Structure 1
């Protein structure tokens, strides 16, 4: 801690110690500067940024595809997969596809989606409710 000095005094001090005068915070009056090795300072900043990036969790959106006439065993497998995805902290998009003239019986597909929502309510909550996109119905569930 040297205190408030002029720019020339700061540069001289850095030069005598064979170091650099680095501006730490320039938006205050007077600007805050340090006498240090700039290469080492830059290396430490990049290391801190890498550590912060490493600790971030990226939330993925996993997709589970259903059919209107899905068997109960297959339904339970899909439900268990959704449970595993949600427990890992990911979002799950549950899509129900209609092929051909199955779209005429949209109520059957809606029943399957509603059953999936009811079964998954124990471990998740609905973020985006049922919406129709062309020949598919979809819902997005997230961890509680």
Structure 2
């Protein structure tokens, strides 16, 4: 009977190739370790010396753990006895948290005729978000007849970008979309950040871990 499954090799046009998306699949452990001897590290980090691989595997399994290859290019390869499932869980947890933090966007809203003190308060909030590694979206909303003088709004946004240059850089020039001007700021590397308005630890805004932050004053609501 002919095989009804698509051919999985050779990269032939129209062929189906299963892609392994598990980043931990390449890590050899237990009976997948084929070299005759390995250098073994205990769960506590203690050097156990060079052992025959079958003996090292049995030592790990007897303790309900796994023998995991951590330095495959060493001679002999270095393996550690550990709970591999727990290790994978912790690594995935760290990756998820890192990804969530990196993708967080905070929003600061301005108005075309914003008062000077409100303007600097918003810059302080923007600097705080940038100091935490968040991207910051600056948005200026025109009201009523203010659309007849959009240059006023652009001047406010350009000034804000200049004032925040010590903490973040614009991904693109400010753009008018509908009745709003938008510009996205990305944080500078930590060692290059120079806050002008925000003192770390002083009057920090409590951040919502899930929703974007929209900072606006009562007068602009």
Q: Tell me which protein shows more helix as a share of its residues.
A: 1
Structure 2: distance between partners of 1:131 and 1:45: 50
TM-score normalized with structure 2 length: 0.46
Q: Does residue 1:54 correspond to 2:91, yes or no?
A: no
Name the SS of the counterpart of 1:129 in structure 2: coil
Which structure has more relative contact order (CA 8 Å, sep 6+)? It is 1
> Matched residue pairs, number?
117
| TM-score using structure 1 length | 0.69
Aligned runs of 1:1-144 on 2, under 5 Å?
23=32, 37=61, 40-41=65-66, 44-52=83-91, 53-54=93-94, 56-57=97-98, 58-59=101-102, 60-144=104-188
Q: Which runs of 5+ in 2 are unaligned?
A: 1-29, 35-53, 67-81, 189-221
5+ residue gaps, structure 1, are 1-20, 26-33
User: How big is the shift at 1:23?
Assistant: 4.7
SS of corresponding position for 2:174: strand
Deviation (angstroms), 1:48: 1.8
- Aligned-pair Cα RMSD in Å: 2.7
Runs of 4+ in 1 over 3 A off after TM superposition: 21-25, 34-37
Structure 1 residue 97: deviation in Å?
A: 0.5
**Secondary structure of residue in 2 paired with 1:105:** helix
